[in-house]
Every structure is written in C-alpha cells, then in structure tokens.
Amino acid sequence: MKILVMTFRLHAPWTNSLKEKRMIVKSLVVKLQNKFHVSAAEVDEQDTHHIIVIGIAAIVPHNAMADSIMDEISVFVENNTEAEILDEMREIR
C-alpha cells in the first residue's frame, strides 16, 4: 500500500479578496474529491489572496496506480481552473 501526495501552487491574479479566493479553492477541492475520491484541502498561503496552495493525498495499492492517478489529477487541475500552475510537487510514500 502506498500514499500518494501532491501539492499544487497556483496563481490567481484576478482575485481581489480572500472570499473570492476561497470560492475558487472550494470549487476545485470539491471537484477533486468527487472525481478522484482523494483528500484535498488548501494547505498554505490562506491569508494571501493571489496564491492558492492545494494539497492532495490518497491511498493506492501500488506505484503504477499512483503515477496514473497523479497524471490524471494534474491534467484535471490544469483544465478546471483559470489560475496559472506555478509549481506541482508529487510524492509517493
């Protein structure tokens, strides 16, 4: 059994308030949870309204499945937000 861990750092320059940012975060987190059955949450930069950091974790049976799911999540995040992806971290534990 393996643990898949991902972190996305996104830049949303059009957000003018934390409330507006949180609406974007909530929408993306709920979509990730529903589609991939993973744990997802905003994990850093909660007080900065232009930067979004989302952490994702899931338990998978083996490395091949982890790689496949991470690739799918990466494409999903890119296609489901207007924010620019500044950084993506992947890890299998």
Q: Report whether pLDDT(81) > 90.
A: no
Q: What domain count does the chain have?
A: 1
Write out the two tokens for 53: 């950091």
Write out the two tokens for 87: 């950084």
What CATH number should be reported for the domain holding residue 74?
3.30.70.1120
Q: Encode pLDDT of 7-49 as tens digits.
A: 999 999 988 888 889 999 999 999 999 999 999 999 988 888 8
Domain that holds residue 50: 2-92
Burial 61-80 (b: 16+ CB within 10 A, else e): eeeeebeebbeebeeebeee
> In whole numbers, what is the pLDDT of the chain averaged over residues?
93
Q: What is the pLDDT of residue 49?
A: 85
In degrees and rounded to multiples of 5, residue 80 shows phi and psi of: -115, 15
Q: Report whether pLDDT(51) > 90.
A: yes
